[in-house]
Amino acid sequence: MIFLVTGASGSGKTACMPDLARLLPDVALHDFDEVGVPPAADKRWRQESTEAWLRRGIAYGRAGRDLVVCGGAIPGEIRACPSAAEAGTLEICLLDCQDLVRIDRLRSRGTHGCTQEMLSWAAWQRVHAADPGWRPDVVRDGSAPGMRWERWEGWRRGDPRWQVMVIDTTPLTVAEVAGQIARWVQRARAPGAR
């Protein structure tokens, strides 16, 4: 199985990885950005990187391991990647938090991302997690070659094929976020889960 933990900057994706490694020692755990992020990283780079992670997940699956990737993958892009059809079960989790918490987290890191654009991107992701029909142009326009948008084009809110677990990290410690993700992974991996 391939598990993708996504969310806008400041949601807790990278922060929870050390605890996740301890809680899920038998999975291959990776940071989406560990392949290197170019200075001009854009939508196409993100989509091509998502495709590369899916191919890597397929290889892990053939070796009998599950893959968990924490980073910037987007649900609609994941499902539209060329390799998604052969990837088997794709489980997606969005980490989200309140805007002021996100701002405080980003300011405390002292890195980029504390902008109105980031808050708008987080809001779009929040709606996209619940409704694939909301502004699909955000990911489709100018996309990487080979993306298969028709796989979910026309799906709307409530479609049972569109499953995204959402964890609000606002009130949680990093350890609690990791614990919720680990329980989500363990439930999905349990015999007869799907």
Q: What is the pLDDT of residue 191?
A: 85
Cα separation values, 73 from 86, 169, 189, 193, Å? 18, 18, 21, 23
pLDDT above 70 covers a percentage of the chain that reads 98
Compute the average pLDDT of residues 105-120: 86
Compute the average pLDDT of residues 79-104: 96
DSSP letter (8 states) at residue 110: T
Measure the CA angle with vertex 13, ends 8 and 14; round to 5°.
Answer: 120
Q: What are 129-174's pLDDT values in tens digits?
A: 999 999 999 999 999 999 999 999 999 999 999 999 999 999 999 9
Compute the average pLDDT of residues 68-84: 97
Q: What is the pLDDT of residue 109?
A: 85
Q: What is the pLDDT of residue 194?
A: 63
The residue ranges of every structural domain in the chain are 2-189
Q: What is the pLDDT of residue 192?
A: 78
DSSP letter (8 states) at residue 35: G
CATH class (in words) of the domain with range 2-189: alpha beta
Q: What is the pLDDT of residue 110?
A: 80
Q: Which residues contact 100 (CB under 8 A, 6 or more apart)?
A: none
Q: What is the pLDDT of residue 35?
A: 87
What's the maximum distance between 2 C-alpha atoms anywhere in the chain?
Answer: 45
Q: What are 24-56's pLDDT values in tens digits?
A: 999 999 999 998 899 989 999 999 999 999 999
Query: In this model, does residue 113 exceed pLDDT 80?
Result: no
